[in-house]
Chains A and B, each alone.
Chain A
């Protein structure tokens, strides 16, 4: 087996390889070029017998727990630059991820929460909270002594300010963009009151048992910025000078080149071990991985599937997967128009697809087969439930029963690689599977912007399916996707799915305060949705990333938040 990239540091003693280039090394390099010519830079090696570690090896010296090393600069490679660092100014997940290092919420969701239970809530800017008995009022006590990075205090007015700028049209810093971006996250809140400097109240429209989890989830658009900074920099400027309360504070942003953050020495919580974080946009996937190989970045957070084998084979790097598959990939199905209006056709499609093959063989286990809408580590997930398995015979039988022959479908897909999926390859496999049971699928492939515009209108008589992603950590999203009050084009229920039973279960669940009862209601709803064939599902995303082995410590790689940068350190 040929390892294309040299093992170890033999080529780079002191970074001055030019002086030490021997003839053999040159020939080796030339052979590398010849190999590179074949595939053009993105080469997969046959993996050596190395387990893909998802946790770092202990660096124990004396046999105890490893001691974090302080200091150092961590460089992260992402697949592009952001437009703004104000999460309320854009729905870009990348902005949210970076902003989370500097901005916070009242409550934090524990990344180390055990699966299968409601996620543990940790105090962040709030030191404690209470719910009223009718479930409509949430009162938070603000932690003492916390300041924004600019030294101004965190108080109830600051919280209210952040809420109002996104919702109150008369607020001096209100902006239509803020409102549009955050409307889904604030939709259940009727108002926010600053009762006294240390007490803030959220008033809800209807009881919502999962309110805190939904409001303060890690992929938020509603993180708090300093009102003083907002007044100083303005509605646009705040996106270039984010001032928050987080473990890192903003230093500078050289557009298209790097974003620099440094440790916040006044942070009230767990002090980070590393001094600086530098974020580097590298658009091209192979170049980004090359940067990790060359040591220019320490983490490649946007690892594409074609590079997985290479990372696994590289002894100086490791592959990490998100512990909590924080998103599901599936096809929306048109439940309104023929032929997919017939439940049997939709079920047949679900039986026809070999999801295991896509997850294991094509995507090398960086995706996981989805049996239901909610994520596997989620409180509402039922690990014993699986309705569909790969059964082409059953699919054919169902189609025959439905009387539909010569089935031709059109599916809308986007070729823009997103979230560790490979849409083109995955869709082609699905197409092949469907063909095996007699369903002809043609694709309409668009770039992301065109795709988003078209999918917003929902499925049409001439469009039976559309590929999509969805973040599935909250059962509220079940409502968005499957409740009849959210039908397209005004809402995200793009398949026009309508089931009164499901509607009732979801509404009941939302208000149910008892955990066990609520879980039961949502599980019932999920079963109905799955058995109705409301969608063609699917796969959970594991968001593969490549880490240099210099990065040590508990990662807390969970959900869309990314890793917990407070706990890691650099060797």
Chain B
């Protein structure tokens, strides 16, 4: 076990370098640079060049890369070109908010997905099963953007049950209850879309497990259906499901940009989107690197849990 962990952590190194190379070079290949973006369309060439020099963009690209990666390895990801604050601080500040949103989204996604998936699997080929599968597919294909706006129209504007966006109330920044109140709609948006995937995975995993001999044996032994499902079937079915949920975490962490935009949730995804729009190279690089490292770590944890649950992996 420890060997696996160690090997995966060591693999982080090449991942880090690889991602850094890709993000560093690709954003510089897109037309547009931070200086012209910052000064707008009416700036003179002289102003732009002066600013470029101050941003150290006049040096050759490989020099810029080496300078940056050298500092990054020591933990200094540079400063945002827009507001000069250290990138590490900026990303961490916003990442906390993304974690809150992602955690809530995963919670909803897992709860709804697993319950619904088990429900469908135990009533295979019934009308309910077909309906659920259809809804799951629909949920999975729903554009997050559209669904989020829909929820706002219904629950915020019409019913006034929930706020239209933000993390806290604008007028009085409240504590935990205020946060939870603001969390519902964006978490639902993220969660329900993701729940579709989890539900389908759970359903197929459950179906596979339910057709095994040991289930037949358990039923023959006289166990209630509920025990059969919860004690025998579910645990084994969970292995692939947990892997999928783990992948969802990665996806939600990095891909919550759209939800964050629709709900003005001040997270790292929205920050990255804005950084790309203004070509804030250090912030883009720092954000992407950070998200990739987190993604790798999360997958590591998920794999460890999955292998713990799987006796075959644990005991050889």
Contacts and interface: CB of A to CB of B under 8 A. Distances in A.
Interface of A: 5-6, 11-12, 15, 17-18, 21, 28-29, 32-33, 36-37, 40-42, 73, 75, 80-81, 83-84, 89-91, 175-177, 179-181, 183-184, 235-236, 239-240, 254-258, 278, 280-284, 286-287, 290-291, 293-294, 296-297, 446-456, 468-470, 480, 486, 489-492
B165 A291 contact: yes
Interface in B78-126: 80, 82-85, 93-94, 97
B54 A177 contact: yes
Contacts of A282: 164-166, 264
A280 B166 contact: yes
* Secondary structure call for the A interface: mixed
B43 A180 contact: yes
B264 A284 contact: yes
Contacts of B63: none
Contact of A257 (B40, B46, B53, B167): B167
A467 to B, nearest CB: 10
Interface in B206-221: none
Contact of A17 (B38, B84, B161): B161
B296 interface: no
B144 to A, nearest CB: 12
Interface in B146-175: 146, 149-150, 152-154, 156-161, 163-171, 173
A21 B161 CA distance: 11
Most buried by B among A73, A90, A287, A492: A287
A41 B266 CA distance: 21
B160 A11 contact: yes
B84 to A, nearest CB: 4
Contacts of B93: 255
Give 3 nearest A-B pairs by CB, closest first.
A256-B266, A449-B32, A41-B149
A455 B48 CA distance: 13
A286 B165 contact: no
A558 B157 CA distance: 31
A291 B277 contact: no
Contacts of B51: 176-177, 180
Interface string B36-75: 1111111111111011011000000000000000000000
Contacts of A29: 154, 158-159
Interface string B223-255: 000000000000000000000000000000000
Nearest to B34: A449
A352 B281 CA distance: 43
Interface string B268-308: 00110010011100000000000000000000000000000
A486 B45 CA distance: 11
Interface residues of B, number: 64
B225 to A, nearest CB: 36
B45 A32 contact: no
B30 interface: yes
Contacts of B166: 257-258, 280, 282, 296
Contacts of A81: 274
Contacts of B53: 176
A293 B156 CA distance: 9
Instruction: Tell me which of A6, A36, A177, A452 has the highest count of chain B C-beta atoms within 10 A of its own C-beta.
Output: A452
29 contacts: A15-B160, A33-B153, A40-B150, A41-B153, A75-B171, A83-B83, A84-B82, A176-B51, A176-B54, A177-B38, A177-B54, A180-B48, A181-B47, A236-B85, A254-B173, A256-B271, A258-B170, A278-B171, A280-B166, A280-B264, A284-B261, A287-B164, A291-B164, A452-B41, A454-B32, A468-B41, A470-B42, A492-B43, A492-B44
A240 B270 CA distance: 20
Contacts of B85: 236
Interface of B: 30-33, 35-48, 50-51, 53-54, 80, 82-85, 93-94, 97, 145-146, 149-150, 152-154, 156-161, 163-171, 173, 261-264, 266, 270-271, 274, 277-279
Given A90-B82, A254-B173, A287-B164, A184 B42 contact: yes
A294 B157 contact: yes
Nearest to A291: B164
B270 A283 contact: yes
Contacts of A36: 149-150, 153-154
A447 B30 CA distance: 10
A166 to B, nearest CB: 12
Nearest to A297: B170
B160 A449 contact: no
Nearest to A29: B158
Contacts of A258: 166, 170, 173
Given A75-B170, A91-B39, A257-B266, A450 B159 contact: no
Contacts of B262: 284, 287
A32 B169 CA distance: 25
A456 B83 contact: no
B37 A449 contact: yes
B270 A256 contact: yes
A257 to B, nearest CB: 5
B100 to A, nearest CB: 13
A452 B161 contact: no
A450 B47 CA distance: 18
B194 to A, nearest CB: 20
Contacts of A297: 170
A448 B37 contact: yes
Nearest to A469: B41
Contact of A490 (B44, B161, B168): B44
Contact of A281 (B41, B82, B264): B264
A456 B7 CA distance: 50
A293 B159 contact: no
A287 B156 CA distance: 10
Contacts of B152: 41, 286-287, 290
Nearest to B47: A180
Contact of A294 (B36, B50, B163, B264): B163
A455 B43 CA distance: 11
B157 A290 contact: yes
Nearest to A290: B164
A294 B160 contact: yes
Contact of B38 (A11, A15, A90, A489): A90
A183 B158 CA distance: 49
B150 A183 contact: no
B170 A280 contact: yes
Nearest to A293: B157
A181 B39 contact: yes
B45 A490 contact: yes
A286 B42 contact: no
Given A179-B50, A449-B37, A17 B160 contact: yes
Greatest chain A CB density within 10 A among B85, B150, B157 is at B157
Nearest to A456: B36
A489 B53 CA distance: 17
A483 to B, nearest CB: 13
A314 B36 CA distance: 40
A6 B40 CA distance: 42
Contacts of A470: 42
B105 to A, nearest CB: 18
A240 B90 CA distance: 14
A570 to B, nearest CB: 12
Contacts of A454: 31-32
Contacts of A449: 30-33, 36-37, 277-279
